[in-house]
Amino acid sequence: MTDLLHDLATTRLASLCLNRRGRPRGLTFDDHLVRGGLIMDLALCGALTHTADAVELDHDRAAAHGLAEAAAEADEGDTSLLDWLDWGALGFEEWAARLVDAGVWRLRPWSPLSPLRSFEDTGRERAEADRAAGRAPAREGTSAQSLAVYAIGSTSGLFGKTAEPPRWLLEDLGDVRWAAELVVDRLTELRVRMRAIGRAVD
């Protein structure tokens, strides 16, 4: 299970939300980011498919990839994927706790010199590689999972300035392009909305 969690796009995106001291960004937006990543992971593992009539979810396949909880939540009631991305209960805090339980992240000891909660990411080298590659992704030899990380990360400001991902990142996702477009478009809408609310409060 640890290896499954370690390799998910959601985990790679969450790791990019940590600064060099292992502290999360602390943005409400990152709850949506995690759910967007989970939608992509469900699509990438073949548990979430788009047909001419509907979006279908294979719970057995999701469970085999360590995504049973996400699938159950996303499929609960009559809500759509977009509703779940907007309002689902599973967010950054819950995903971080799951990574700590699995040993993918370690909770650093509390210190009066560093009172904010921070984590040690066992995949920090990969996160740094993702951060570098995400600023200028290469088209050749990039896995579908990495394409998803770079596309979602771009629109979420994980590689510096927030930017629209190059269209080829979505095009090269092939059969799961629909899921990437759904997530990227919704995260873009949420980011704009949250910024507008923030300016209004200021």
- DSSP annotation of 56 reads E
**Which amino acid, one-letter code, is at 22?**
G
Q: What percent of the chain has pLDDT over 70?
A: 94
Whole-angstrom distance, CA of residue 158 vs CA of residue 147 = 14
Q: CB-hemisphere CA count at 13 Å for 153?
A: 29
Give SS3 for 49: strand
How confident is the model over 67-92, as pLDDT tens digits? 999 999 999 877 789 999 999 999 99
Whole-angstrom distance, CA of residue 80 vs CA of residue 132 = 34
69, two tokens:
């909880």
User: Dihedrals φ, ψ of 91, to 5°?
Assistant: -130, -160
**What is the rounded average pLDDT of the residues 185-191?**
94
Q: For residue 48, what is the enclosing H or E element?
A: strand 48-50
Q: How many other CB atoms are there within 10 angstroms of residue 55's CB atom? A: 18
Whole-angstrom distance, CA of residue 54 vs CA of residue 65 = 22
pLDDT of residue 201: 45
Per-residue pLDDT at 140 exceeds 60: yes
- Select the more confidently predicted residue: 115 or 103: 103
Residue 114's pLDDT band (cuts 50, 70, 90): low
User: What residue ranges do the domains of the chain occupy?
Assistant: 2-201
Q: Any alpha helices (H) in the chain, and if so which ranges?
A: 2-6, 9-16, 29-44, 59-64, 68-74, 81-87, 92-102, 124-135, 144-155, 167-171, 177-201
Whole-number average pLDDT of the chain: 91
